[in-house]
A = this chain, B = another copy of it.
């Protein structure tokens, strides 16, 4: 399995955990230790695993299954870091997203999630794009 595909799977696991409001899966998605960074739209960033996990606990408990969609992921690999840029659609909201994954043992684990609001998606990207539409490789 190429590293690009492995990073794609890790990114998809993040959005599946989010969409299914599956906190146990979300706990597995993130790196088990070390400094993390998680910036939910409008929130100040959170930088400890405890804070990050507590935030997901609140978000996933509050919303139940979430209509979150990952759109147009683009994947880059830089040694032990995987970079995914994508858009998120959540109801009427649209976000530009930077996700970073670190290779820890055999698995890519999330170390950084930054979702910032944008006014609209670029032309050519549809909010109802099929979830399984393949990512483009940046490298």
Question: Which of A76, A80, A121 has the most chain B CB within a 10 Å cutoff?
Answer: A76
Contact of A117 with B120 in the complex, beta carbons under 8 Å? no
Known: A96-B39, A98-B114, A116-B117. A44 touches B122 (CB 8 A): yes
Q: Is A64 an interface residue (CB 8 A)?
A: no
Q: Is A3 an interface residue (CB 8 A)?
A: no
A41 to B115 alpha-carbon distance, docked (Å): 11
Q: Is A81 an interface residue (CB 8 A)?
A: yes
Q: Could you tell me how many residues of chain A have their Cβ less than 8 Å away from some Cβ of chain B? A: 35
Contact of B78 with A80 in the complex, beta carbons under 8 Å? yes
- Cβ contacts A116-139/B at 8 Å (1 or 0 each): 111111100000000000000011
Known: A42-B119, A98-B112. 4 other contacts (CB 8 A): A35-B138, A43-B119, A81-B81, A95-B116
Binding site for B on A (CB under 8 A): 34-35, 37, 39, 41-45, 47, 74, 76, 78-81, 83, 85, 95-96, 98, 100, 102, 112, 114-122, 138-139
